[in-house]
Amino acid sequence: MGKALDGVKILDMTHVQSGPSCTQILAWLGADVLKLEAPSGDITRRQLRDVPDADSLYFTMLNSNKKSITLNLKEERGKEIFVDLVKRSDVLVENFGPGTIERLGFTWEKLNALNPKLIFASIKGFGEGPYTNFKAYEVVAQAMGGSMATTGFEDGPPTATGAQIGDSGTGIHTVAAILAALYQRTETGRGQRVAVAMQHSVLNLCRVKLRDQQRLATGPLTEYPNEDFGDDVPRSGNASGGGQPGWAVKCAPGGPNDYVYVIIQPQGWAPITRLMGLPELAEDPEWSTPEARLNKLAKVFQLVEEWTSQHGKWEVLAKLNAENVPCGPILSTGELIEDESLVSNEMIVTVDHPVRGPFKTVGCPLKLSDSPVDVERSPLLGEHNDEIYRQVLGLPEDELVSLKANGVI
């Protein structure tokens, strides 16, 4: 079966996580993704290695379904070859530090002149302004995009979230931008400049916290568990952040992830009171309505926890779902990687690799009925040099030998 992005040629100069997470999704959607690396390779091939001399899981889990070529863009011949590749590409994606690609001689104006149909997408830490020239990593974006200030408990420090919202979150925003630019090109015939900043992506994901920032002007945020409100939205622990109260309550046997997150919708209260063995609270006006419970949510969840702590999280999940109460057991990473439903949904996928052997990776969360995803292994460094330079660009064999000897590829 064909794929949604069949025939779309992506020249992928990304590294680390934000950029590779974007181009991996594009590859899964069927684009032809050619990863161009300096002859030394994407630094993550060697970072956090678990198997000696094999590409790390950091690399293999973010670069599947791509081809790899090496090319030294600091060499004149390297720049000439790059120009040929740009002319053949639909999209160029990079996430170098600020000014890096321009220092290599490739401004948007130059790339646009070389190939007016090219979509040139860049991920940077920040937009235009005082931070433009700053480098950024995941937690820097979380710090400056609103996530750290609003994550954690009121009496604790700002906290980073485990979800890589600054990196992979920005990657998926960039996927959306590139697809929109490809679609617009079908009308205009022109490429365009696409810029996505990690700070902006995190801020977009923190949208509801900026909603609450403005609500502070009219008084305390009544659904928050906090008692004191200052000028800024406080950290609110495990409060749900939506209109319905929720909290993570302990389960048996009391391990670090033996918790269930429970949300109490108005209609969920009566069944919860029955499960807790306190059915009278369903009728008691002190407890029966969301408004009556609002000023004693800590006590509400303490009662819920007295019940849940006598049961395992899977049992609590079954009992609450039997009553249509939204809830989620806290699944540990060990549980997730073995989860049969995630395996059958191809969200945990085993891939073979010629150097490191089989490993598990996370599959594609986008499920398209006409564009199924086959997760394939990441390429070895320069694995496709011969195919691209000889067969596609038509470089003669003797030149390839000298390019290699001179460190150009």
**Catalytic residue positions?**
167
110 marked as binding residue: no
318 marked as binding residue: no
DSSP secondary structure letters along 358-408:
-EEEE--S---TTS-----PPPPTTTTHIIIIIIIS---HHHHHHHHHTT-
Minimal distance in Å, beta carbon 371 to ligand COA? 27
Helix axes 198-205, 168-188, angle to 10 degrees: 100
Distance CA 197, CA 100 (A): 16
166 marked as binding residue: no
Distance CA 170, CA 200 (A): 8
Q: Which of 9, 100, 114, 399 binds ligand COA (CB under 6 A)?
A: 100
Residue 196, interface with ligand COA (CB under 6 A)?
A: no
Residue 198 or 373: the one with the smaller Cβ distance to ligand COA is: 198
Residue 163, interface with ligand COA (CB under 6 A)?
A: no
Cα end-to-end distance, the chain, whole Å = 34
- Please work out, in degrees rounded to the nearest 5, the angle formed at the alpha carbon of residue 363 by the alpha carbons of 31 and 64: 50
Residue 220, interface with ligand COA (CB under 6 A)?
A: no
- The interface region with ligand COA, picked from 48-56, 59-67, 134-142, 152-160 by CB under 6 A, is 134-142
Distance CA 75, CA 80 (A): 9
Number of Cβ within a 10 Å radius of residue 123: 27
Residue 105, interface with ligand COA (CB under 6 A)?
A: no
124 marked as binding residue: no
Residue 388, interface with ligand COA (CB under 6 A)?
A: no
354: its two tokens: 């010629």
Q: Which of 58, 59, 96, 247 binds ligand COA (CB under 6 A)?
A: 96
277 marked as binding residue: no
Residue 274, interface with ligand COA (CB under 6 A)?
A: no
Footprint of ligand COA on residues 25-44 (CB under 6 A)?
A: 38
Q: Which residues bind ligand COA (CB under 6 A)?
A: 16-19, 38, 71-74, 95-97, 100, 103-104, 123-125, 135-137, 167, 198
Q: Which residues are annotated as a binding site for substrate?
A: 242-244
